[in-house]
Amino acid sequence: MTLRRRWLATAAAAVVLGLGGAQLAGCSAADAPAVPGSEAGASPAGAQTGVPTATPSTGVTLSATPSIDPSPSDALRPSTRPVDERTGKELGRPFTVNGIVVVSAEHPVSAGYRPTIGDFELTPTAAKAFRAMQRAIEKAGLRLYVVSGYRSYAEQKALYTHRLATMGRAYTRKYVAVPGASEHQTGLAVDLRSPSGRGTSFVRTREWRWLRAHAQNYGFVLRYPEGKTKLTGIGFEPWHWRYVGVQQAKAIRALGADVTIEQYLRLA
């Protein structure tokens, strides 16, 4: 190839690359494809940008296609459905998946399960988190009161028997766990009220709305959301909040306001 032909071929290639680079550089944010995991304020920290390379003929910088890591919620969840293989004396410890204690009718514990209990009738770790949440809600001019925290197996049995006698079987089976299936035995669950609402009326209070927006920042999630009775075995309880830790609570909340622990851990 003559010197003139080589020069023409090089110039043509530079024009083509320059046009492609200009098109990439001019892509607006609205036109750009969404990055998975970037919704709801999540930062695309999992994306690793490739090393940029500069084209000598145009100076346009091109980047390699970024690789996308799993979202935080997916990274913390089990990849397959966990299996509860405890039997007999093993029921003296709770079924635990990825650090989250699961106690329900499907995953009961025996009377021998007795966690260490501190303030607010919660485990020391949960109590510390609740105290921080209580301080935060008081700064917002609101008030939260603890109705019930830890209950032993025997106490749950007495409550269940009493509710059967006074409220009937239909109510009791919907709202009261059988002995060994209550989260209150874990010391990680707390029933709350406000000055203006208790029980089902709690949903009409400012405290309830605050919890829905901020509880996950302190490690708490709504344990029995509305419309999820088939998954949890318990009816809608706006007063019942469960401590799972800040990282896990945020991951659950990122999947949706009414996502259950069963759904998050792929148990349902």
Per-residue pLDDT tens digits for 194-209: 999 999 999 999 999 9
- Per-residue confidence (pLDDT) for residue 13, from 0 to 100: 43
262 counts as catalytic: no
- Per-residue confidence (pLDDT) for residue 48, from 0 to 100: 35
- Per-residue confidence (pLDDT) for residue 74, from 0 to 100: 76
- Per-residue confidence (pLDDT) for residue 41, from 0 to 100: 32
The verdict on 64 and 146 lying in the same domain is no
Please identify, among 69, 92, 126, the residue that sits at the C-terminal boundary of a domain: 69
The verdict on 97 and 156 lying in the same domain is yes
**Separation of alpha carbons 140 and 41, rounded Å:** 23
Residue among 121, 183, 237, 262 flagged as catalytic = 237
- Per-residue confidence (pLDDT) for residue 70, from 0 to 100: 53
The verdict on 48 and 100 lying in the same domain is no
Which CATH number belongs to the domain containing residue 123 in this structure?
Answer: 3.30.1380.10
Please identify, among 69, 86, 117, the residue that sits at the C-terminal boundary of a domain: 69
Q: String of b and e for 247-263 (b: at least 16 CB within 10 Å)?
A: ebbbbbbbbeeebbbbb
- Per-residue confidence (pLDDT) for residue 3, from 0 to 100: 41
pTM of the model: 0.73
Residue 208 sits in which domain range? 73-264
The verdict on 60 and 77 lying in the same domain is no
How many domains does the chain fold into? Answer: 2
- Per-residue confidence (pLDDT) for residue 73, from 0 to 100: 66
The verdict on 206 and 104 lying in the same domain is yes
Residue ranges of the chain whose pLDDT lies below 70: 1-73
Per-residue pLDDT tens digits for 26-78: 333 333 333 333 333 333 333 333 333 343 443 433 334 444 455 656 778 99
Please identify, among 49, 69, 89, the residue that sits at the C-terminal boundary of a domain: 69
